[in-house]
């Protein structure tokens, strides 16, 4: 069976979706309340940088797409990400994001001392470290000492599946909203209330429909290409092992996803070969 992709209607999006999370956190007041509650700091002003900002390395083909990217009145940089699906590489992902942010923030020829203080915050709908805590903070020390290693970068992992409520009520309510998608819950804090209200606003905003559908279609196309590339890799491995049936099954699986001419080009076979496979009973 070919892999099916569907687009969730805007009216049904939850906070854990990239698009909704970006729309909610794009509210200056919500974002300020979130950061102040989490970090225990006071923020006078927020400057949003490009939403879903993409940074590309000239020497690699890995682009960095940032969900929420901003600065405060002190020049501190914040990157807030939503993670709905469990990934096993978050610490290395943080490392990669940090390098991209630093290169983006440090002008060519500038002194390293001018690097901005930065915070990378992952809001996860799973317990990545299996410790139960609602909030985990990365803190580094020199080995066998109590001497902190401070480079101006800070990392937080939030866990909506927490069993230990080691955060203030605003953050806990925000995490509960991520986990449950329950808009009927009587949230008590301004952060919880405003996040819920913003979700309701976005869901009913007809003007956002076009931009959301464009965004969702782009994401779907990227997933399809990734799926196709994975199948193409599987084809190469199958041929190497003489697995002709696996190759044919791969072509058939792509029948409802790609045009036969694209399949032929991708797999470097003739249109006649493609049609022979697709017409087999």
Six token digits for residue 162: 């927490």
Separation CA 173–CA 158 (nearest Å): 12
Separation CA 32–CA 41 (nearest Å): 10
Mean predicted confidence (pLDDT) in 159-184: 98
What value does the mean pLDDT of the chain take?
Answer: 83
Q: Give per-residue pLDDT as tens, 213-249.
A: 887 777 666 655 555 555 555 555 544 544 466 667 7
Separation CA 147–CA 210 (nearest Å): 52
How many percent of the chain have pLDDT more than 70?
78
At residue 232, the pLDDT reads 56
Separation CA 174–CA 35 (nearest Å): 12
Q: Which residue has better confidence, 1 or 18?
A: 18
Answer whether residue 264 shows pLDDT above 70: yes
Mean predicted confidence (pLDDT) in 102-127: 89
Residue 190's pLDDT band, with cuts at 50, 70 and 90, is very high
Answer whether residue 258 shows pLDDT above 70: no
At residue 60, the pLDDT reads 37
Separation CA 76–CA 105 (nearest Å): 10
Six token digits for residue 276: 């022979």
181: left (phi over 0), alpha (psi -120 to 50) or beta: left
At residue 200, the pLDDT reads 97
At residue 197, the pLDDT reads 98
Mean predicted confidence (pLDDT) in 268-275: 80
Mean predicted confidence (pLDDT) in 6-25: 91
Mean predicted confidence (pLDDT) in 252-268: 69
At residue 93, the pLDDT reads 92
């Amino acid at each position: 069976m070919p892999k099916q992709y569907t687009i969730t209607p805007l009216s049904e999006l939850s906070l854990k979706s990239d698009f909704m999370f970006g729309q909610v956190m794009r509210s200056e007041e919500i974002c300020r309340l979130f950061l102040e509650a989490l970090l225990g700091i006071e923020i006078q002003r927020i400057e949003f940088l490009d939403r879903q900002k993409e940074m590309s390395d000239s020497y690699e083909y890995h682009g960095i797409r940032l969900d929420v990217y901003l600065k405060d009145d002190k020049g501190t940089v914040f990157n807030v990400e939503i993670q709905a699906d469990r990934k096993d590489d978050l610490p290395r992902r943080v490392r990669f994001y940090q390098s991209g942010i630093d290169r983006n923030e440090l002008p060519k020829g500038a002194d390293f001392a001018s690097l901005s203080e930065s915070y990378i915050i992952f809001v996860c709908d799973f317990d990545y470290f299996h410790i139960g805590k609602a909030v985990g903070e990365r803190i580094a020390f020199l080995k066998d000492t109590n001497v902190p290693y401070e480079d101006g970068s800070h990392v937080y992992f939030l866990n909506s599946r927490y069993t230990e409520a080691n955060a203030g009520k605003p953050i806990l309510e925000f995490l509960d909203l991520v986990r449950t998608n329950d808009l009927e819950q009587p949230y008590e804090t301004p952060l919880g209330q405003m996040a819920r209200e913003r979700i309701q606003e976005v869901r009913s905003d007809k003007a956002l429909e076009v931009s959301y559908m464009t965004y969702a279609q782009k994401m779907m196309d990227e997933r399809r290409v990734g799926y196709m590339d994975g199948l193409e890799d599987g084809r190469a491995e199958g041929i190497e092992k003489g697995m002709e049936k696996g190759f044919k099954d791969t072509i058939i699986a792509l029948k409802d996803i790609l045009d036969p001419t694209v399949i032929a080009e991708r797999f470097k076979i003739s249109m006649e070969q493609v049609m022979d496979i697709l017409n087999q009973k």
